[in-house]
């Protein structure tokens, strides 16, 4: 399998009615995605798609359980994976779509209305699904963009058009964990409570032997501040992407997954969704798949989360 960067999927005039709709509160159908207790568990599961379409069936077969969320990536100017989304809905999974906006220059074009036709086509396509969908708009933006004001205007513009055409789409605002804990970028990028349905964060546990504080960093040391940010705003919290590197001779992957499972249940009441990135990357520190070896300790730990009643609300 040829590796690909997780961010490789990314690069790729408003009417008054849309401006007015941009602050529309979450509909009952998007609120229905938020469990009263526990949290949904899902994954992006790579099985050969070069455009980010997740195929979870093989992973589900190995763990003996259906996942609650199937996470697909939506590159710029690529048609919606409608058949995949429809299958997920039919099979009882919540679809999550990480929807790329492109480089910063394109954000200005979006604000100017240049891409309204494309946005509206995507919105109508999701509306036709007839079920709630999580839309993670231009994720990890704190690593990609500089102009926070432009980002906020872009977000509100896209949100406004979707609010009119596809009100069942829930908007997921998702920087990296460092935006909350280290760089203080979260607040400047936040578009406002009326434009966000879920607050999220991404974070990965990598081997960093020369930096002990980051070496296989614990879940709590990545996501505590992000969870607090969401809770303070009355928003459900989602870990949009996470993974733990698979070491050839160290069972750290299984241990990290097991500890994460218990920490979430004990200390993260606002966490309502956890999504794993089940794909190996091109670098030596991003082997995230839990099914190597098949039936091994990491796969069993992953299955433990998937079958836990807490993660099946």
Residues designated as active site: 140, 241
Q: Single out the residue of 20, 117, 132 nearest to residue 77, CA to CA.
A: 117
Cα 42 from Cα 254, distance rounded (Å): 17
Cα 86 from Cα 308, distance rounded (Å): 26
CA angle in degrees (0–180, nearest 5) for 298-67-179:
75
Report residue 200 as tokens.
């999220």
Cα 220 from Cα 209, distance rounded (Å): 19
Q: Are 142 and 175 in contact (CB under 8 A)?
A: yes
Handedness of CA 70, 76, 78, 80 (dihedral sign): positive
């Amino acid at each position: 399998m040829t590796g690909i960067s997780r961010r490789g999927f990314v690069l790729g005039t408003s009417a008054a009615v849309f401006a007015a709709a941009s602050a529309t509160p979450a509909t009952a159908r998007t609120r229905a995605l938020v469990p009263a207790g526990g949290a949904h568990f899902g994954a992006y599961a790579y099985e050969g798609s070069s455009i980010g379409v997740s195929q979870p069936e093989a992973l589900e077969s190995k763990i003996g359980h259906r996942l609650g969320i199937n996470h697909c990536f939506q590159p710029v100017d690529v048609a919606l994976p409608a058949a995949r989304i429809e299958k997920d809905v039919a099979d009882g999974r919540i679809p999550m779509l990480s929807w790329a906006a492109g480089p910063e220059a394109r954000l200005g074009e979006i604000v100017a209305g240049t891409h309204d036709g494309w946005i509206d086509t995507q919105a109508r396509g999701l509306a036709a699904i007839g079920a709630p969908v999580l839309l993670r708009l231009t994720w990890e933006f704190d690593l990609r963009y500089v102009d926070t004001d432009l980002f906020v205007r872009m977000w509100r513009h896209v949100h406004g058009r979707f609010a009119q055409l596809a009100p069942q789409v829930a908007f997921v605002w998702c920087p990296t964990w460092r935006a909350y804990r280290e760089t203080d970028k979260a607040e400047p990028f936040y578009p406002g409570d009326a434009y966000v349905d879920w607050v999220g964060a991404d974070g990965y546990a990598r081997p960093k032997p020369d930096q002990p504080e980051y070496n296989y960093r614990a879940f709590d040391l990545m996501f505590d501040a992000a969870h607090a940010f969401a809770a303070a705003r009355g928003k459900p919290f989602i870990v949009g992407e996470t993974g733990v590197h698979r070491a050839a001779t160290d069972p750290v992957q299984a241990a990290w997954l097991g500890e994460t499972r218990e920490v979430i249940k004990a200390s993260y009441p606002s966490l309502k969704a956890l999504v794993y990135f089940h794909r190996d990357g091109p670098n030596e520190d991003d082997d995230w798949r839990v099914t190597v070896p098949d039936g091994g300790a990491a796969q069993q730990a992953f299955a433990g989360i998937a079958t836990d009643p807490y993660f099946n609300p």
